[in-house]
Structure 1
Amino acid sequence: MICVELSFTADPARLAARPDHRQRLRAWHDQGMLLLAGPWDDDSGALLIFAAEAATVRRLMAEDPYFTTPGVRVVSLRAWRPLVGSDRPGTL
């Protein structure tokens, strides 16, 4: 899994780009590539959890202008190995 953390500013360009971005999120979810996505409670950023390889996530992000829109900054893109709640067992 890949986790992408975003941070936001109040730039109006971000809000203008958001509807198209959310359509992409729904499509990625319908295709099984995106598990969860949503903003922090204070709208200072968001977290996206992908069930895809890092190269695939980078490609998806490159195709979505939202990730380079003023007011949006990619804080991190990290691989994640959940131990609980996954069909892949880990070690506790």
Structure 2
Amino acid sequence: MSVFAVEYVYAPDSEAGRDEHRPAHRAWLGSFVDQGRLLASGPYADGTGALLIFTAESENSLLDELKQDPFNLNNFVSGLKTTEWAPVTGAFADYA
């Protein structure tokens, strides 16, 4: 398993839709927490997007899974970037 930083950029004027679909989004995220694959997630303080730290077998498999996020299914994410990450110290170092 590799660790990936996932950056979401929220679509303009999507706040109301994200508020409506947030319970489903968090339930979707919760399934990855239960599997031990979502290490951390949360929105940026300025509300423009979010950072999610996942483990995955590959970037392609993670991208396929991210398509199922209710925020992506409803086009609330206008930009998405995944970067493989190799943490060497701190809480996530054991996952690298």
Q: Which of 29, 39, 48 is 1:44 aligned to?
A: 48
Q: Which runs of 4+ in 1 moved over 4 A?
A: none
Seq. identity, %: 35
Aligned residue number for residue 33 of structure 1: 37
Do structure 1's residue 58 and structure 2's residue 95 form an aligned pair?
no
Aligned residue number for residue 94 of structure 2: 87
> What are structure 1's unaligned runs of at least 5 residues?
none
Aligned partners of 1:74 and 1:17: how far apart in 2? 18
Q: Is the 8 A contact 1:2 1:78 kept in 2?
A: yes
The residue type equivalent to 2:47 in the other structure is D
> What are structure 2's unaligned runs of at least 5 residues?
none
Do structure 1's residue 5 and structure 2's residue 10 form an aligned pair?
no
**Alignment length (residue pairs):** 89
TM-score normalised per structure 1? 0.80
Higher alpha-carbon deviation: 12-21 or 31-40: 12-21
Change (3 A) 1:58 1:70: closer
Aligned partners of 1:88 and 1:23: how far apart in 2? 23
